[in-house]
Each structure stands twice: as C-alpha cells, then as structure tokens.
C-alpha cells in the first residue's frame, strides 16, 4: 500500500491531469477523486484518456478527503479555503487554486474579491529557499500557470540585479485549457480557432503573485488566448542594469535543476516541446534596437503550470525524491 492521496475537483482539466500523474506514480495510491456536478459519474466517462482506471467520482465531502495522507485541491479560485479549513491538520494539502498564494490581503481583495484566506508556503521549488520550505510544510499553495512561466524567467534576473525591477513588460499566450473546463461561448472551437485575442487586459489576477514571487515592482502584463488546447509561451522584457549576460544568470540559477532548462544559444522555447511534461524551457537575448533583455519561457500550463508542479511539491512534502513520477521530456508532435 502506497501513500494515500485524494483529488478534489478531479473532473476539471488540472484534476484529470493530476489523476493521470498519480496513476503513473510508483509511491502514490489514489483513494478518492471528487467532483461537483459530475459526482456519481465513472472517471473514464469524464476523462476518456483515463479509460482503465476503475473509479467513480464522489461528491466533494471533507470526510471522504480526510482519510488521505495528502489532498490535492483542484478547485476554482475562491473555493479551496473553506474546504481546506475542514481538513485535519494531519492531512497535507496542495492547493492548485489561488486562495492561499498571496501574502497581501489588499491585493487579494483587489484582484479576486472577498475575504483573504491567508498565505501558505508558496509552491515553486526552484525559487531560493522554497524547496526546504515546501518539504517542511503541511499546506502548500501551488503557483498559477502564468506565474510559474514568468517567475522562472524573471526571478533570477531581479535577484541578481541584472535588470530593473520597476520596468518589466510581459506578453504571454495560453492555450484554452487555462480557462478551465466550464462551457463558455468565447472558448468554443468556432470562436477560438483561427483567432488570437487578449483577455483580462491590464488586470490579470496573476500580476500580484508574479510581483510577490519575483520582486518586480512594476509589471505590465498582456495575456493572449491562443488557438491550442494547452501550453504557455511568455516573452518577458526588462531594462538591463549593466553588462551581465541574462542567459548566463539563468544558467547559473538553474544549474542542476531537473525541470528548468536553459536552451542552447540561439534555440528558443516552443510550447509543443514541453507538452505533457513538467519542464519549463528558457532562453534569453538582448533586443538589438532597444537594448532590453528578452527572456522567452514555455511550459505546459497543465504540467509545470499546474498538476506536474503540484506533484513535484507533494513529493517534497512526503519525503520522496522530487522527480518521482514526473518527466522533463515532452511529447511531440
């Protein structure tokens, strides 16, 4: 018998990816998968890719989840805190929602609304000090998908003083799965295919999280909806403070990391190369005209941006090798 884990919100895209990763994990046993409107449905009816897993989705009842050693909460923003508060302290929790990411209550209220539930240990192991903090924590707040993509590109440069923290501009494109599985007219294939559009322009909820995680003081962020199911590609630009080579700074920061790869000179990240993996690919250059540093970052929003990252954090919390059950290699084409 392995370590008992449960997934709340297993009917969603991130929840389904969690179940897939848990099914292939040598140390984890899935003892419960819960849903709301899909409760009572066979798991494979909701996630055809999981055919062969004989499991029925149950209602999201704290009593069902409390029997696990660790619970993943893959719920919409604002719904995790109430459920987490009903779980015993002895149960470890990784929250894929935003409820416990922000340390600033005013920022939460401004971008999300409602009362602030308090901050948990931030779940990005590659940040300085976070690996040990996650390993010691019972409650971990998984990163947002855009936040992971951008933070991994920017945080080492700000920490090294290589770029100005008060002049950061980001344009990033995400696949439609980043918006969740709920039926929405603007996410219909007819609306999305052949189109590229901005959304939450100038007001995306990941902005305070990115600033908190990177040390950036001013961030202009324009998110784009791309006609693809999954993946994020971000371009992060900032003014250099000196002559430090950004690619060298990133390479030094991530030397020895299993899941963050700085690509060879002249090779730039692409979303397809990270599909199905827990990897983030990075490359840096300097804009010939403006002199600004440009870092290009790509990851799978359901992998390193959500479920893969959550399993990576869970491994640390459970005392397992961090890479267990995860791959840095993508699936292509």
Q: Which of 222, 213, 215 is closest to 174 using CA atoms?
A: 222
Indicate the burial class of 200 (C-beta count within 10 angstroms; 0-12, 13-18, 19 or more). middle
| Angle (CA) 67 68 72, round 5° | 130
Of 145, 293, 296, 302, which one is the catalytic site residue? 145
313 is catalytic: no
Distance CA 104, CA 182 (A): 29
Would you name the residues annotated as active-site residues? 145
């Amino acid at each position: 018998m392995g370590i008992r884990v449960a997934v709340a919100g297993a009917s969603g895209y991130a929840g389904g990816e969690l179940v897939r990763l848990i099914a292939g994990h040598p140390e984890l046993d899935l003892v419960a998968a819960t849903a709301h409107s899909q409760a009572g449905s066979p798991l494979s009816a909701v996630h055809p890719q999981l055919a062969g897993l004989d499991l029925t989705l149950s209602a999201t009842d704290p009593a069902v989840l409390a029997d696990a050693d660790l619970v993943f909460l893959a719920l919409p923003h604002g719904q995790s805190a109430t459920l987490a508060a009903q779980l015993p302290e002895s149960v470890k929790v990784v929250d894929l929602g935003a409820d416990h990411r922000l340390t600033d209550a005013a920022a939460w209220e401004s971008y999300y609304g409602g009362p602030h539930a308090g901050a948990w240990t931030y779940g990005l192991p590659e940040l300085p000090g976070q690996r040990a903090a996650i390993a010691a924590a019972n409650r971990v707040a998984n990163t947002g998908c855009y936040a992971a993509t951008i933070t991994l590109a920017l945080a080492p440069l700000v920490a090294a003083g290589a770029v100005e923290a008060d002049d950061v501009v980001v344009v990033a494109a995400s696949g439609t799965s980043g918006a969740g599985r709920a039926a929405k007219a603007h996410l219909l294939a007819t609306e999305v295919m052949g189109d590229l559009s901005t959304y939450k322009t100038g007001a995306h909820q990941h902005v305070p999280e990115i600033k908190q995680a990177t040390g950036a003081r001013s961030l202009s962020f324009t998110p784009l909806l791309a006609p693809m199911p999954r993946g994020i590609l971000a371009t992060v630009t900032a003014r250099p403070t000196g002559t430090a080579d950004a690619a060298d700074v990133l390479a030094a920061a991530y030397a020895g990391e299993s899941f963050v790869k700085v690509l060879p000179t002249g090779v730039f990240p692409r979303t397809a190369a990270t599909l199905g993996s827990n990897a983030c690919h990075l490359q840096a250059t300097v804009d010939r005209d403006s002199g600004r540093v440009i870092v290009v970052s790509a990851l799978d929003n359901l992998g390193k941006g959500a479920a893969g990252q959550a399993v990576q954090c869970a491994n640390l919390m459970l005392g397992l090798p961090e890479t267990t059950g995860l791959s840095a290699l993508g699936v292509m084409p």
